[in-house]
Structure 1
Amino acid sequence: MMQFIYHILIDRFAGCNPAIKGRGYKGGNLEAIVDRLDYIRQLGATGILLTPFMKGWRAYHGYHITDYAKVNPHFGSWKMVDKLVDEVHKRGMTIIADFVANHCHKRSHVWQQHPEWFKTDPKGNPTYFNNIDYLPEFDLDHPEARRFMTDNGLLLCHHGFDALRLDYAKGPSIAFWQYFRKNIKREFPQVELIGEVWGKPLDKELPTKLDRAFRRGVLTEKEAWQKRYAGILDGVMDFAYQELLVQAVRSGERILGNKKLYEQVEKHFSHFSKCPAFCLYLFLENHDTNRFLFECKGDVSLLREAVNFSRQWQYPYIQYYGMEKGMYNKKDIRCGEPYADEWVRQCMNFDLPNILTNDTVHNFV
């Protein structure tokens, strides 16, 4: 059976209150997720992926960490983390933690006590993730910073997580990830390391062979960057695959019987056929993209085709919470409006009927 992973935005999944106004916390928590594990399993899921749960600064999504050693009290405690991991494993499922190594919030004691652990530009000024001036970027080639961040990854492994999703994996150097992998695998050889590899390359360069393949049109930019991490990580979130399906439905194409799309996807996968022990994690949407049903213009049948198409391959499939309930944004989150990503991070509505089934359609050509 292929992996079917259910992706949870902790604050907006279970235990949350949609009546709470504003962009802050709405009450979702780890204990409430435990109460919904049977619901998730009944969907056919074999595992769950959590957004970060470390202590952060006023950020419900969890990506603005201030203390890697503490659990955000809005979400629970280490005791509750352990309970969730245990309950997931009791059901024969796996659990993935989201690990933010590239940056932290400037209110972190690390930023205040160890400024030498962070990147600077040629003028000596701090560099910030996505130019957000309260998210300084770690210099993970600094020996002490490298050890600190690796110890925090090991902490999650000690708490029983089966895999780590590595947020913005393009930020830290390849040398850091090699060090990180070596130390994680020494103690926890079974733990999978999954990179989130997308976004602008900034000042980084591709290795010559991959750069030439990209410039000749053999690989797309997303494929080239994903392939960069073969042999470094165990796998990546497959943004190149997601883009192919989004382009198809935006062009008014169906998924079922779409020979052209099928061939495009097979060609995409073929680029990674000689990358042993490197896995592509397929998905249609997440907390940073439009809901796929938006791309389908609300056509539920087209969404079903895309889900079944994605679950037919030999790769793990990740489904964002609420897709099965037909949740979607009515406006494009890239429209330029402030905090438009909130439109794909709404509280889960368990009262809505499920619009997806566990059946997988295999005849797509």
Structure 2
Amino acid sequence: MSTIAFVLMSYRTNQPSGIDRSIGALVKGLRRLGHTPLVMAAGPTPQDRLEPGLIRLRSVMLPQPATNADVLAALADPTPVVEEVRRILAEHRVDAVCWADTLWGLGYLNPAPDSVTTALMVHKIRPSNEERWRHALAAADVICPASDYLADGGTEAGLDTSRWVTVPNALHTLTSPTAAGEREKLREAGPVRIVSRADPAKGLAELLEALPTGWDRPVELVLAKAGFELQSGGQSRTLAACRAARDLRPDVVTIWPPLRWSEVPVFFAGGAATVISTRVPETFCFTAAEALSVGTPVVGFDLGNVPRLAGEAGRTVALDTGPHALWAALGELLADPDGYRRASMAAPGRVARFTPEQSAGSLLAALGL
């Protein structure tokens, strides 16, 4: 059996982040297959209980939340983190290490001994002229995109994908789909349930502001901050904007506190549908997959991986039609008993292959282990 390490500076269990969920599911899958996973992340050590195999680096300390600029500042002299990561890999006799990102996962530094197989996990196709991205791609033994959508994106970008092997993201927790009788009751009067990281690009405030005047069905939004953000203060501004939009329709809209990873599918199981209002392409979309896994249909824009993921279990509208079109599509779906039933029945099968064990097996095969 092998020891496989993952590196992601911002890693936190139960953090509302696709990359964190991806690693968490791979860790679970590797353990179930009898392997030993490790995760290396920046300090300081959070107050919550650390999971087995989670190692906090002493050479990199980040504020909460951190931005790219904070990471670059912390790595201005990369020598300490390179030496610490190399030492940890050697001490634990690691067989392979997965850099979870170009910057945040140290992929561009590739601080691994020659004897350790390296993989770059790809969750976004970056501009071809980005120097760190080029270094990370060239340094890794294998490139592992997190979805077929990303793999196709690499080909379309003209990259050399001869070393690319898709390792699909996996659902951290699998829950039985909602029974047909209960599902029909949800279609008739159940809440619309949405789970998201508080990021401006998710389009959540705009979605709530576009709520039709006559809409009377509950809209329940779980909104959470992560330990990182693309724009300083972006999460706080998003939360404030969503709360302001909620206050316009407090009779309908509720904003709930964050959920643990294991609680998200259960939350979706009690919803009539979910809406993905992200205005940039989702390269996998965990919340869409989690909703589908319990038979909850998905409505979103026709970009990124969401249409591929949902297929006949969802409805999409053109991005340029805006959030009002999302509400219209959702209303049409909920008013169509036969169409809704077909979408709900198709939903679990759309994501059935995204299990921790299957994704872990794909990773092991990609690493040659």
Larger relative contact order, structure 1 or 2 (CA cutoff 8 Å, min sep 6): 2
Q: Of Structure 1 and Structure 2, which has the larger fraction of its residues in strand?
A: 2
Normalising by the residue count of structure 2, what TM-score does the alignment of the two structures yield? 0.31
Normalising by the residue count of structure 1, what TM-score does the alignment of the two structures yield? 0.31
Q: Of Structure 1 and Structure 2, which has the larger fraction of its residues in helix?
A: 2
